[in-house]
Structure 1
Amino acid sequence: MEEHFFQCPYCWEEISMLLDTSVRKQTYVEDCEVCCNPIEITAGFEDGELTEFNAQEIGQ
């Protein structure tokens, strides 16, 4: 597991998330811990290193 810090695309607050480094490519939805809006997270790893990260709004 790796802690990753990023800015919420809704409220712009910095939040952190634990990412599973054993899964090479992952996409899931997580609520912002500050404003509770859903964020689509995409993360990619190679040899346990984060190579791709995207956090975007989910149009509702």
Structure 2
Amino acid sequence: MPMNSEFTCAFCGEPNPTFVDFSAGSEQSYIEDCQVCCRPNILYVRIDEDTLEVEIDTDYDG
């Protein structure tokens, strides 16, 4: 079940929409390019299993 969410680019600071797939577990990490500056971001996703609240931290890739 994917859910709309948002992350802030670790390079340029711009907000980016993303989809979080709940079926991939409560802790995930994957790389997604910024839609503004096109640089890769490592997304660290945590999902609260009780409230389904999503928290996303970003880091540089490279």
The reply to whether TM is greater than 0.5 is yes
The one-letter amino acid of 1:35's match is: C
Partner of 1:3: 4
TM-score, normalised with respect to structure 2? 0.76
The answer as to whether partners of 2:32 and 2:41 remain within 8 angstroms in 1 is yes
- Alignment coverage as a number of residue pairs: 59
Q: Which of the two has greater helix per residue?
A: 2
Gaps of 5+ in 2: none
Gaps of 5+ in 1: none
TM-score, normalised with respect to structure 1? 0.78
Whether 1:18 aligns to 2:57 is no
Q: Which runs of 4+ in 1 moved over 4 A?
A: none
